[in-house]
Amino acid sequence: MPILIRRTSWSLFVCSLTHTFIHVFTMMHTALIPVFIKEFNLTIFEAGLLVSIPLALSVAISLPYGLIIDKIDPRRLILLSLLMSGFSGLAVSQAGSFLTLLLPLSFIPLSSTIYHPPALTIVSELFSEDRRSRILGIHAAGGTMGVAIGPITLGLIMERFGWRFSYLIWCVPVLISTLLLLSLPKPAAPKERVTEEDRDAAEENKDSSSKIIKRGFLLLLLAMGVNSIGQQALSAYMTTYLVSVRTLSESAASLLYGLSPFVGIIGSLIGGYLGDRFGSKHWMSAAYTGRIFVYTGIWLGPLWTLVAVYLTGGFFGGSTMGPLTSLVAKFSPKRRRGLAYTIFMLFPSLMGSVSPLIAARLIELYDITGLFPFAIILTLISILLFQSLPDDKGKNLISLIYDVILFQTSKRAYCRCESNILT
């Protein structure tokens, strides 16, 4: 038993660390949008293409990739993704034109698309279902750290060494991390992955269970897709907003942009616990409600509250990762979980690939502040969709409060009735 625990803990560590490295370059180019506009003389529409085309490429490859993923050793897929990310970062650091910048940038989201389904499949099978949200939250914290490190690196060294050096220094650790994959145990073949959880599920009403899974998974995809449109629209032009409207310097905007997901590391850990405690879908709704207040604060709040509000948004964003991936595992058959995670990432990416272009059009027609009410409305729709998901095991905070009130009311009524009988 101790050997098994050490093995699963090590596997979780390796997956979390590689998750950090696969995301080092994820947000660097969006943080650099104002710099790219100046250096490469780009229009707002061309700057939007730097975000939308890489996402569109990931979407195009996702479905055929999902059909074969469960037949390939996940360690090899993770290896491929890390190599692709490392060499793409190296190529970005040498870019001299719009096209030579766009091409390697397109492979960075693709490497993430290749990485996540096999890594999430490995992690979701390490521990039992009642701990799944917490464990996936730890894995998500690794990715959130990677998302944070890139823009923070930019903010610290860009003025002195330039933005290209930020890409260059991270290529080496990303490529070296591939050696850790040699220590991961060989995964069980698909036919061997039948556990007591699967046998118990098979004994239940198959028709009813299948309908719940299909409905839950489709609603989850729709909720994520709708949210991604608004979130990606804001994310693509957030540093542009901070520089042009809030008058921050480019390095300060990049630093703040990176600190937000760094706070999300704490959010990932706490969100995983709260997802297990109150139910994943209920925490998702609570976190999205918090995100609406964050959007409003960044948009309308005074400048002196900007940093605190922005970092709070990082907490809520990070806190959704564990519960989200846990919901995917809940609403997908175990043998096809790799495909389920691929589809889960495909639909939000599909929506997110068009949102920067929508955002660019909104900016041209109105101004950049119009992105905030756009994102708020879509977040509200996502909350309603999450509340339509079939209930999971956890009990939400509202239900717990209601139960306490109901108990106290019943207790008082009983005492009054008893008092009346005695008198």
Q: What is the pLDDT of residues 88-140, one digit of tens each?
A: 999 999 988 889 999 999 999 889 889 988 888 888 777 776 777 788 888 88
Q: Classify 23 as helix, strand or coil.
A: coil
What digits encode the pLDDT tens for the residues 337-371? 777 787 777 777 677 667 877 888 888 888 889 89
Residue type, 187: P
Answer for the pair 280, 140: CB distance below 8 angstroms, yes or no: no
In the predicted structure, residue 194 carries a pLDDT above the cut 50: no
In the predicted structure, residue 193 carries a pLDDT above the cut 60: no
Answer for the pair 44, 356: CB distance below 8 angstroms, yes or no: no
In the predicted structure, residue 14 carries a pLDDT above the cut 80: yes
What is the distance between the alpha carbons of residues 379 and 384, in angstroms, rounded to a whole number? 9
Domain contains 261: yes
Domain of residue 113 covers: 2-180+206-392
Domain contains 195: no
Residues 6+ apart with CB under 8 A from 422: none
Please report the pLDDT score of residue 207 as a whole number. 45
> Using 50, 70 and 90 to split pLDDT, how confident is the model at 325?
confident
What digits encode the pLDDT tens for the residues 61-71? 877 887 787 78
Please report the pLDDT score of residue 141 as a whole number. 86
Please report the pLDDT score of residue 397 as a whole number. 43
At 214, which CATH number? 1.20.1250.20
Average pLDDT value for the chain: 80
Please report the pLDDT score of residue 101 as a whole number. 92
**Which one-letter DSSP state was computed for residue 73?**
-
In the predicted structure, residue 418 carries a pLDDT above the cut 50: no
Mean predicted confidence (pLDDT) in 304-324: 90
Domain contains 189: no
Q: Classify 184 as helix, strand or coil.
A: coil
Domain contains 196: no
Domain contains 38: yes
Please report the pLDDT score of residue 419 as a whole number. 46
Domain contains 76: yes
Domain contains 352: yes
Angle CA 366–372–375, to nearest 5:
115
**Which one-letter DSSP state was computed for residue 68?**
H
Q: In this predicted structure, which of 170-184, 244-258, 275-289 has the lowest mean pLDDT? A: 244-258
Please report the pLDDT score of residue 411 as a whole number. 44
Q: Which residue in the block uniquely carries the two structure tokens 């009054």? A: 416
Q: Structure pTM?
A: 0.66
Domain contains 410: no
Please report the pLDDT score of residue 203 as a whole number. 47
- The closest alpha carbon to 281, from 324, 313, 330, belongs to 324
> Using 50, 70 and 90 to split pLDDT, how confident is the model at 272?
confident
Tally the domains of the chain: 1
Answer for the pair 281, 230: CB distance below 8 angstroms, yes or no: no
